[in-house]
Structure 1
């Protein structure tokens, strides 16, 4: 087989047993190519790791005027808000968005396997999805600009927040209020369990306690799949401790919402009996009166879109943009209650 850099359309056509014209039409997704023939050509291109050169594509018919966007979730508000900001900027520049939803591990493997042979875009934006070395190699075969949004990926321009700094804002707030027994609800992505969600938020917890001279207690850390129900279950586990925490730091607001539900069902008052803080400033956080660390999600999407436009315009871009976060203090946090016993007596829910 010729070296990857020497593979051309003739090699793909030969492998698929078709003419070069047919191979070209199949790779361009021409409507007058039989489904079976197109599948054979695509399979041959994938086997050879053949990628249509961007220069040849432009000479043949110009740029695609499309930007690919890869997301692990499409129903969560974070990804929807990020995509909203990104799409608005690209739409104003007359660029279309081609959305790739990479769900579980099987979807992810299939996506990266097929990606190089299907160069249908001029750039690719990866939102909130860690990428390992073999996947980076597949991305490189596309020969297009790659931008990471909602997280950092090695060697690519990025737009994100500093998760460790956001975590410090949350935990330092609890320490400042006087809490010494602080629980943490950390999360994993249930569809990508090998990838921790925002590891900087976990690191921030340990660093904040160490700097405050607070001994670490492993029992105060609970790691669960991301989601409100999981947050509720985690809070139940923390309340079952002989000495429960006086405050809880949740990795996300959705997880914090679940923790709040458990506390209220247990008859505990927030924040008089226990404080809760989250991260993200979910659209419902204000209604829930939840103290949180806000990040401008839609704004990050807009910045990623502008970064794509600069790259497509031939401008050099820096390593990335780190967007600042801010602590938003609401009614779910307060100094710990001064009482000789803990936990406080459970209160009977008020009659409705």
Structure 2
């Protein structure tokens, strides 16, 4: 097995310099760092995580707590976290919070306290006081995506403002009969995102002098199938039909597009549809959406914990996350 001394000899540098270059801690000139990289690669040298941990007191591992692993939004945020951490030599340990209260308790009371991670990122999970306290007791950097949580550094999207922007886009196109596909109560949990988006929708209508029609409010489950079924209800029942739909997620908006086509409605000529997220399939469906850049959310969270780990423990990392209206082919004037 190749040793660090052999890498140092081939690079023509001291063992201490090679150690700093490989660990990423301490000053090493770009030229020396490149010599170490080339030498290590030519010798097939890989830094031992166990040795590195013993020397630095670090595990080079970040714990990421998520509510779901099989939903597009969360997997995309995780992709952003993973990409940013791997570039800096860190591994990830995933902790999926399930509906089982005992499993959730075990994650915070046992798993995260085994000292196997250097920091924790919590993705769109509303932590109670006990869970927040247990995280803070670890004495590790903690970043929460989704907030607000006054006791933690948080990165937050203003869901009310996001929904207002989507609805105002439809109003600006002349639509007044606007339906909303939101969420069933069982999905209105962490941070009440569906409720916040419905509030933004209703605020935009009120500001425009439009009275919300209760018949134009349909719950779903943030999936394509759920959006399909909700849109079928909105478009298939007797009485006035909407000229536009604001769906609280892109997947539900895609389901609404498919339902409209199935019923013979043209999008956008007969029905405009807008969603929220920035889903990777949005461009394929030409979906107008408010992009909340989930990949960037993950990258920013990872860079935030790395900034605290590697130098500035008091770095200002909280704040609002960006969003942007992306106008494509599913919305048009009445």
Q: TM-score band (shorter)?
A: 0.7 to 0.9
1:232, distance to aligned residue in structure 2 (A): 1.1
In 2, Cα distance between equivalents of 1:315 and 1:138: 19
CA contact (8 A) 2:141 2:308 kept: yes
Of the three residues 212, 215, 224, the one matched with 1:216 is 212
Partner residue in 1 for 2:274: 277
- Normalization by structure 2: what TM-score? 0.76
Q: CA RMSD in A?
A: 2.3
Distance 2:245 2:238 in 1: 13
3-state SS in 2 of match to 1:184: strand
Structure 2: tracts of 5 or more residues without a match: 1-52
Residue aligning to 1:75? 70
1:295 paired residue number: 292
Q: Pick from 44, 57, 60 the counterpart of residue 65 of structure 1.
A: 60
The offset of 1:77, in angstroms, is 2.5
Q: Find the aligned partners of 1:134 and 1:220 in 2 and give their Cα distance.
A: 40
1:144 counterpart residue number: 140
Label 1:63 to 1:198 Cα distance change in 2 as closer, same or farther (>3 A).
Answer: farther
Partner of 2:133: helix, strand, or coil?
A: helix
| 1:120-165 C-alpha deviation (Å, 9 max, x unpaired) | 2121001122222232223233222210124443322222432222
Q: Deviations over 1:307-337 (max 9, x none)?
A: 101211243133613232111111111122x
User: How many angstroms does 1:82 deviate by?
Assistant: 1.6
| Runs of 5+ unmatched residues, structure 1 | 1-57, 337-352
Q: Distance in 2 between matches of 1:149 and 1:295?
A: 12
Are the equivalent residues in 1 in contact too, given 2:166–2:290 (CA < 8 A)?
A: yes
2:164 corresponds in structure 1 to 168
Taking a change above 3 Å as real, the CA distance of residues 264 and 188 of structure 1, as seen in their structure-2 partners, is same
Q: Name the one with the larger helix percent.
A: 2
Match of 1:257 in 2: 254
* Mapping for residues 10-89 of structure 1, pairs under 5 Å: 62-89=57-84
In the TM superposition, what is the alpha-carbon distance from 1:81 to its structure 2 partner?
2.1
Q: Is the 8 A contact 1:70 1:127 kept in 2?
A: yes
